[in-house]
Homo-oligomer: A and B are copies of this chain.
């Protein structure tokens, strides 16, 4: 098994994901918000690259059929229904709804990673489900960290390292430099995931906006047992 990790979706080159399982990670917060929305019964989520693209798509589908969701600079986009805090995605709000989802890093990374064989959205909150699926699929794996505006983010990499550690317990894997580094970073930080989220660049930024509670929520291991998978441009719950 080959495991390649990418610190940002910008690193992806053409055909690099072909025939691979792909995990897209945005720990703060898109991966968690997506898991929460599906867990709370939304119908599907359409990830898009930008707020502008979300508005275009909304006009095609019809305003009454969708929730417009996403953030810019960490805050809800003006005129949108929901931002990017998992606390907004409660069952009464999202049940049976189609969500159009535009965030600065996460939704963009998902769109860029769409060429994978199976593309799943992972983070600490649904770690177990995602790891099990990857093992069952038994294909080469690409872990795509969303990063922060084209740069490395520690929290996504530590989470990627957790997947790599888990998989290497079960399979012999040939890993790239970034995957090797991620495994080391996970080992260093595994005993205090919340602290990683509190001390990383993006966590500090979110705290400065008043989203401290989101950090605790996003650090909870296996708290949202759901498996978000991208199919035909929409994220739905995976069923084998």
Where the two chains meet, the residues of A that have a C-beta atom closer than 8 Å to any C-beta of B are 6-7, 10-11, 148, 150-154, 157, 176-178, 180-181, 184-185, 188, 199-202
Contacts and interface: CB of A to CB of B under 8 A. Distances in A.
A180 B151 contact: no
Contacts of A181: 152, 154, 157, 181, 185
B11 A151 contact: yes
A188 B184 contact: yes
Copies in the complex: 2
Contacts of A7: 7, 152
A89 to B, nearest CB: 26
Nearest to A183: B188
Contacts of A184: 184-185, 188
Question: Which of A10, A180, A185, A199 has the most chain B CB atoms closer than 10 A to its own CB?
Answer: A180
Contacts of A177: 148, 151-154, 200-202
A76 to B, nearest CB: 25
A150 B7 CA distance: 11
Contacts of A188: 184, 188
A144 to B, nearest CB: 13
Given A151-B11, A152-B7, A201 B176 contact: yes
Contacts of A152: 7, 11, 152, 177-178, 181
B200 A150 contact: no
17 contacts: A11-B151, A148-B177, A151-B178, A152-B177, A152-B178, A153-B177, A154-B177, A154-B178, A154-B180, A177-B201, A177-B202, A180-B199, A181-B181, A181-B185, A184-B184, A184-B185, A185-B185
A131 to B, nearest CB: 22
Nearest to A153: B177
A151 B181 CA distance: 13
A6 B152 CA distance: 8
A25 to B, nearest CB: 14
A47 to B, nearest CB: 24
